[in-house]
Structure 1
């Protein structure tokens, strides 16, 4: 029996699949990573892929002049999700790209969310086959300054929200999901991200240089719960592929 193929759009080297790859690989899936930071091109034939995952990144959806590959990326996401109606997962920037191709505006958040924040499930989540395991309130890791603005479309369902961000987790029809937060992180992921110069400068402004070590320690202390949420999400998602 041949392995199911998953295409992954990766925007920067340090934001990879992390635990998503671990959990999916245990289920015998095969990954094709398109690394835009290495100028890799999206294959024309998307039919061979059973699922698409679009990862996060420091760029924003409107930066097409600086990152021209965003143009083809958006076209491919729309083709895969809207035309082909195949399973899709967008994380952080990936969630915003999904929102944009579905007609939503991507707006600057009133307050940036960097660190662990509580997210509240909406009632409709209980009926969702992929996310119904999530508790009423759960804590997740975030790193974003922009967000998807709600659209009035019967196929667009908001599954979870936070105090600052209404669209934390959403579903399009029954096959495409966007999550503004990061369930994929491993124990060392946040520490690794904090060592990237641009991220370090962002953190200094947001929490102060004296709090960065405390920030990474909190992340490590919360990782067991994040891993639990991620593993169950992948287990449920694999059933619709």
Structure 2
């Protein structure tokens, strides 16, 4: 792969959590998307030769449920390989939890799920971080989870918190970012989640959830900016 057309390996855990906007951003940024649908049995590479970036997508499963998802240990090993080889990595929601577990952090479970477009707060480090600073001064992000990262890996910096102080974004060793929220979603993706998820708030409908994302033009532009910033790092900008 030439430096003019770097390649990013993206691991998909389920059909309803596709790369979506991330795929669009990579095409815009001149980064080749190499998608591995692990849930369909597609083999996960054991090394990262000829790959300049790694992204781990979300999913409705528990990040430590290896028994039901036998590819999970291979994903965690790949995250460690990326860290060791200095390959920029982005973990999204479930992917952030897997990143934490792979690098000796810890996950837990919220008493009440976070669902919908909600505010987060950038830390001082986050305000200087290329990804989190792209969210702007008053970040609003799409949340859809109950599991969460409760302890960051060693050599991590906290980049953003929820209004309750929960870990929403971190970077480990300056090379591996984890975000508990979903910058990659489209209204259509959120509608599918809302139609099947047991986390949907009482009284809310799939149509309402999709409409909220459709109407959130400013936040969606900032999510695009976060993904573009990561693509720029993969490009070596």
- TM-score, normalised to structure 2's length? 0.90
- Aligned equivalent of 2:48, options 41, 46, 49: 46
Q: CA deviation at 1:33?
A: 1.1
Aligned-residue Cα RMSD (Å) equals: 1.9
Identify which of structures 1 and 2 has the higher relative contact order when contacts are C-alpha pairs closer than 8 Å and 6+ apart. 2
Which whole-Å CA distance do the structure 1 matches of 2:140 and 2:223 have between them?
Answer: 12
Structure 2 gaps, min length 5: none
Which whole-Å CA distance do the structure 2 matches of 1:193 and 1:142 have between them?
Answer: 12
1:231 aligns with 2:205: no
Partner SS state of residue 47, structure 2: coil
Which whole-Å CA distance do the structure 2 matches of 1:234 and 1:218 have between them?
Answer: 20
- Aligned equivalent of 1:214, options 192, 208, 213: 208
Which whole-Å CA distance do the structure 2 matches of 1:228 and 1:213 have between them?
Answer: 21
Q: CA deviation at 1:32?
A: 1.3
Q: CA deviation at 1:152?
A: 7.2
Structure 1 gaps, min length 5: none
Distance 1:72 1:120, change over 3 A: same
Q: CA deviation at 1:165?
A: 5.3
- TM-score, normalised to structure 1's length? 0.89
- Aligned equivalent of 1:37, options 33, 36, 39: 39
Which whole-Å CA distance do the structure 1 matches of 2:190 and 2:30 have between them?
Answer: 27
Matched with 1:111 is: 112
Q: CA deviation at 1:213?
A: 3.1
Alignment of 1:1-241 (within 5 A): 3-81=5-83, 83-151=84-152, 153=154, 155-164=155-164, 166-195=166-195, 197=196, 199=197, 201-203=198-200, 206-208=201-203, 211-222=205-216, 224-241=217-234
Q: CA deviation at 1:109?
A: 1.1
Distance 1:193 1:211, change over 3 A: closer
Which whole-Å CA distance do the structure 2 matches of 1:211 and 1:165 have between them?
Answer: 28
Which whole-Å CA distance do the structure 2 matches of 1:87 and 1:132 have between them?
Answer: 17
Q: CA deviation at 1:68?
A: 1.0
Conservation of the 8 A alpha-carbon contact between 1:119 and 1:138: yes
